[in-house]
Structures are given as structure tokens and as C-alpha cells.
Amino acid sequence: MSDNTPAPTPAPTPVPTTKTHAFQAEVSQLLDIVVHSLYKDRDIFIRELVSNASDALEKIRHLQLAGEKVHQPDAVLEIAITTDDAAGTITISDTGVGMNRDELVANIGTIAHSGTKAFLQAIKENGGANENLIGRFGVGFFSVFMVARNVAFYTRSWHADGENLCWQSDGSGYSIETLESEEKRGSRIVITLQDEFKEFATASRVKDILLRYSKYVPVPLLLNGEKLNTVQAIWLKNKSEVSAAEYKEFYKFHCHAWDEPLEWLHFNADAPLVINALLFFPSENTEKTTFALPTRTVSLHCRKILVDDAPRGLLPDWLRFLKGVVDSADLPLNISRETMQDTALVQKLNRVLSKRIIKHIEEVARRDAALYDKFWREFGIFIKEGIVTDHINRDALAPLLRYESSHTEPGKTTSLDEYISRLKPDQKAIYHLTGHTRAAIENGPYLEAFKARGIEVLFFTDATDDFVANHLNSFKEKDFADAGQADLDLGDTPAATGEPLPEKRLTSLCEWLKSELTNTGEIQLTAVGTGNRLVDSPAAALNTDKYVSASMRRLLKSMNRSSESAPSVKLELNPRHSLIHKLDNLRDTDPAFARLVAEQIFANALLAAGLLDNPRDMTARIYEILEAAASRK
């Protein structure tokens, strides 16, 4: 024996078998399917047997609570596992309800209670042992024959007059013997492994399996005398019974985390599904600092037994930053407990969880602005992703958005609800401007018209913000509007200083600029004119595409999905600006220099709009202008 493990208790020598039984044909078929094609991972036989032992212990607990007189009432409720890698055996014992002779035959000898017949009929009707069928029939015990050469099942029923029995099988048939020696109440399964699967008789291998799948069983789980389940399944408790320290301890244990959780959500629901969930918000967004592909980190359990540590469809992808556990007794599982199979139920579970998580995030935002600000800075990108990708929850996510604006101080954010509360009486839209930074937006020409009118503008500084607004389209019946668009109606021109260029000269200047600049660069200049938005800037390039903003165009280009047509703009002039007056004069006095200045004004406007991809020509032109200016008398 190795692994420094104690020798297992020798099995009692059974009396000679009086009769050997053949499995019913259906059971033989089932065994063939289990061994050769059903399970993906052979190690799950330990999970199945431990789960069965846990169920047996739960039944004896209920019998005792109900006042039933049970055999050996003082027996400690526990599951004990011993390994012997030299002999190639693993023994799993429990002090649960045990079985009598009829129960042995009914549960693992025939098809009466195991569900085997219904399982095989479903396979026949559907053309194979697919994962949409195999979870409805409770035949997990037979998984042991994937690895076993022989199985000896010793058992003693909880009834006072129960027999000491041994059920044995090598997979071809079974025998049931009456033992002379006294067995403890419950069951003891001695598994003699096939040579190629003797790894499952090593303590280290079994420990890894138990800690993965069965570490939260509700009774002590012993491996060679060592208790493995040291942390409770606190998600099944009432949250009033769990301290903050216990939550943090569980987070580090279950999620293998080193940080402190930023926040957690613990809830229990009975309808429309029985759900017990404990979900943690980490303190950091690891996707910011790693190139690893995103992974799901919320595990799925059924009655404390792990079903899937990375279940697909349990939560929408945008919630992948969450960690924790979801436990539901309502799940129809495949026979190996590996996947959920009822698509409609999965979707229902997804919707219930998503709705509850969004509600909790809203509650955090209301009760603790500082905490929500931390959450938003780390995980706001996931909220935006949800709005773009999750049409079911899109409207519910919109109030969670946060942006800096012309109303907030640098570094502070506002919600869409707060923005709506500050609307001007005749304001028609939610206005936003896009730029790399807040400073870039504030120093550009587009904000001044809104500042002059006292209209708040949201600052979009993330590449995805335009996509988010485009998918939302509106919020509380107010459409989103890019403040850099050409067709905005902002009402009367605010008070401005300076005399405008005379109408005839202005019309002539616009025509001249249109003819001189039409073929400049890769931008389609559709029009040159004046408007009522500019106050301090001489000109602005206004986007004429309602659906693709400059930032969206840059993002699409980075994804090699840019549109075939060049971006189109309207050049709007400020007729009161001194530079526009001087440009008009230069047309008459120095046409060549006037053209350089016009091209530079246009380039500056494109740069402010985020539409100047190649500044090389602009830099060369600046030097040319400087040289010409230095030479002028």
C-alpha cells in the first residue's frame, strides 16, 4: 500500500452464493451504453457514488426527525472513502438508510425503480444516447462499471430487522448473499478496479476529484481519515446567518481568489424556479490585464454537487466577470451531471438570474455612489457590451450607464436619468460628443454651441460608446443625437460678438471653398456653409452620416470592417470669426496663400472631428504657411 494511507477494513467473507442472477436485458443494454459511449470523463463515477451516499444520509436524517425508530440511531452521519493503490481498490461507505434484499433487486438488479427501461426507450425513439435524453433516469450507480472489474455492495437496512447483505457483480450478472457478520447501518461499496484504471485507487487522484465535485456535501466527507469538506455551502443558508467574513472566506476558497470581493449577491428563490445563488463581484477586471480568452467562473450545482464548473448559457456572456455558484434542484441533468439539457429551462434560469443581478447592481448604485463608481470603472465595459449584445436586457441596463458630461466635474460621472432630469424645457434629444479624452472634446468646436445655450452634452470617450447609443437609440422617449452631426436644430443663434461677413461675400467665400477643397484628401466635402452653432471657433467639420460617427468609423477600420465610401462632411463657417474675414480678403490679395490657409482650416476641422487619418500633409502645410508668413512684409 502506498500514499501512506491506512489499510481499509477487510471486507467480511460472504457465505456461498445460493443463486446468481442475470441482469435483465435492459440493464445489460444500459451497462453497455454507460461503459462504451455515455460518459465523457470516467472520474465522475466517484461523484455519482458520493452523491448517492449523500442522498442516503439525507433520507436517514429525515427518518430520525420524523421520529422513526432506526437501527443504530447513534451512528455518525458521514461518508468515508479509503483507497488501496496496491490492491487497486477504492471503498466508499456511508451510514445512510441502506437497502434490504427487495430494494437491492428493485434498484440495481431490475428496471423497476432505476428508470432504465424509460431511458432505453427514449434512446431507441431518438436514435442514440444523446445528451438531450440521458438526464432523466437516475442510473448513475452503473457508471462504476466504466472502471471496475468487480463491485461488492455491502449494505444493512435502517429497519430493526434488516439483513446483512452483499450484492456483487462483474458487469455480466449479479448475486445477493446474506452475511453472517454484522454490517454497520448503511452501505459500503468495494470497487476492484481494472488494471488500466488503477489511478483511481490513489489518494491524490481521488482527493482531486472529491475537492472538485463533492466538497460541499452536507455531511463529513473523509478520505483515508482526512476530512475534506471544511467549508460549508453557505449559499443554501439565509443571508442573515452569514457574516461578511464568511462571505470573503468562501470567495477566496471557492473562486481561488486572492483579492477581496467588491460586492456580492446572495439570494434564494422558490418561484418560478428553486434557485440558491451566491455571486461575487471581484475587485478587478482581469480582462484589462491579461490576453487570456474570457472564461465563465460561475459554477452550477444541484443539491451541493457540482454539475458544471463552466456552464454554457447559465448567464449571458456580458456577465462573465462574476464569480460564484448557482444551485438549483429543478434542473434536469444529463446522466453524468455534465450539462443542462432542457433548453427552455436553461433560458428561463438565465432570465431569472440576469434580472436579479441587474436589480442588485441598481440597488448598489442607489445606496452607495462611491462603491458603484468603483464598479463602473472596472466593469462598466461589460454593461455596455450587454446593451449591444443582449436585446432582452438592453432597456434594463440603460440606467446603469455612466458618462462624464459638460455638467460634471472632471472625473465625475452622471446617469441618463440624471441627465434627463436636467433637460431644457424644449430640448429634443440626448446630446453626446465623442473624443479620445474629455479635454479633447472640451477644446473642440462642437461643444461651444451647446454651452452657449446651457445644454448638457455627454462625453463619449470609449470606442464603444457610439455603438451603445446606436443600439439604445433612445432613453425615456428622448433620442440620442451626435452633437457633431450636420442637421441638428438648436434653435436661435445665441448672443455673439463681432460683425458677420456680408452676405454676398460670405456666399462667394463658401462657393470658393467648395471648389478649392472638394478633392482634398479622402474626405467627401458635400457642402460649405454657415450655421448658428459656432461661437469661438472659425470652422467645424460636421458629419453628414446619421448612422456612422467618426469614432464608429475608426473602430470599424481597426476591425477591417470600414465602409467602402469615404466619410462625408459639411464644413460650417463662423461668419463672425476674424480668421474667416481675413481669409476672404486673402482671396483677392494672395490667392495662393489663401488656398493654403483654407486647406489648413479644413484640416484642423477634420482633426477636431476625428476624421484626419494621416496628419503628414497637414504638418508639411503648416511649415509652408509659416514660411510664407515669415516672408510677408
pLDDT in tens, 270-323: 878 889 999 999 999 988 876 555 667 899 888 888 888 888 889 999 999 999
DSSP state of 243: -
Please tell me the distance from the alpha carbon of residue 631 to that of residue 633, in angstroms, as a whole number. 6
pLDDT in tens, 527-559: 999 887 888 889 998 887 766 666 666 666 655
User: Which pLDDT score is estimated for 25?
Assistant: 64
Sheet with 474-475: strands ordered across? 404-405, 458-460, 429-434, 478-482, 474-475
Q: Reduce the DSSP state of residue 277 to 3 states and report it.
A: strand
411/330 same-domain check = no
pLDDT band at residue 457 under the 50/70/90 scheme:
very high
**Per-residue model confidence (pLDDT) at position 29:** 66
pLDDT in tens, 38-84: 566 788 889 889 988 998 999 999 899 889 999 999 999 999 999 99
Closest by CA position to 319, among listed 273, 262, 387, 369? 387
Residue 621 lies in a domain: yes
Cα separation, 177 vs 302, whole angstroms: 35
Bridge partners, residue 175, by sequence: 20, 168
Task: Establish if 494 belongs to a structural domain.
Answer: no
Question: Could you tell me if 465 and 511 lie in one domain?
Answer: no
**Distance separating alpha carbons of residues 303 and 320, to the nearest angstrom:** 23
Question: What pairs with residue 481 in β-bridges?
Answer: 431
Which residue has better confidence, 30 or 87?
A: 87
**Nearby residues of 245 by Cβ (< 8 Å), 6 or more positions away:** none
In a domain, 492, yes or no: no
Least confident of 46-50, 288-292, 439-443, 459-463: 288-292
Is 205:247 a contact under the CB 8 Å cutoff? no
- Average of pLDDT values for 472-499? 82
- How far, in Å, CA of 261 to CA of 252, rounded? 9
Neighbours of 34 (CB within 10 A): 24
The average confidence (pLDDT) of the chain is 84
Let me know whether 222 and 306 are in one domain.
no
Is residue 366 predicted with pLDDT exceeding 90?
Answer: yes
- 220 and 245 in one domain? no
The CATH number that applies at residue 251 is 3.30.230.80
What CATH number does residue 412 fall under? 3.40.50.11260
Q: Is the pLDDT of residue 209 over 90?
A: yes
Cis (ω within 30 of 0) for the bond into 73?
Answer: no
Q: Specify the length of the chain in residues.
A: 633
* Low-confidence winner among 8-22, 411-425, 529-543, 560-574 (lowest mean pLDDT): 8-22
- The answer on 240 and 223 residing in a single domain is no
pLDDT in tens, 576-593: 999 999 999 999 999 989
80 in helix, strand or coil? Answer: strand
Residue 367 within a domain: yes
**Chain centroid, CA 107 distance in Å:** 40
**Residue 43 and residue 347: Cα distance in Å, rounded?**
29
- Decide if 617 is inside a domain: yes
Q: Tell me, yes or no, whether 280 and 303 share the same domain.
A: yes
Together in a domain, 30 and 178: yes
Query: Residue 334 pLDDT > 70, yes or no?
Result: no
pLDDT of residue 358: 98
What pLDDT does residue 388 have?
95
Alpha-carbon distance of 503 to 508, in angstroms, equals 9
Q: Rounded to an integer, what distance in angstroms lies between the CA atom of residue 93 and that of residue 53?
A: 8
> Is the same domain home to 212 and 299?
no
Tell me how many domains the chain contains: 4
Of the candidate ranges 120-134, 230-244, 395-409, 618-632, the one whose mean pLDDT is the lowest:
120-134
Residue 341: its pLDDT value, please? 56
User: For residue 134, what is the domain's CATH number?
Assistant: 3.30.565.10
Query: Over the stretch 235-246, which tens digit does the pLDDT of each residue have?
Result: 999 999 999 999
Residues 186 and 261 in one domain: no
Cα–Cα distance between 572 and 575 in angstroms, integer?
Answer: 9
Q: Is residue 392 part of a domain?
A: no
Beta-strand runs (E) in 483-615: 524-530, 539-543, 568-573
Helix (H/G/I), strand (E/B), else coil: 261: coil
Give me 429's grid cell. 434629444
Question: Are the beta carbons of 188 and 93 closer than 8 angstroms?
Answer: yes
Q: Indicate whether 314 belongs to any domain.
A: yes
What is the four-CA torsion angle of 532, 538, 541, 546, rounded to 10 degrees?
-20
Answer whether residue 473 shows pLDDT above 70: yes
For residue 389, being part of any structural domain is answered with no
- Do 324 and 180 lie in one domain? The reply is no
Three-class DSSP category at 630 = helix
Pull the grid cell for residue 37.
459511449
For residue 475, the enclosing domain spans: 401-482
Q: Could you count the other beta carbons within 10 Å of the beta carbon of residue 489?
A: 7
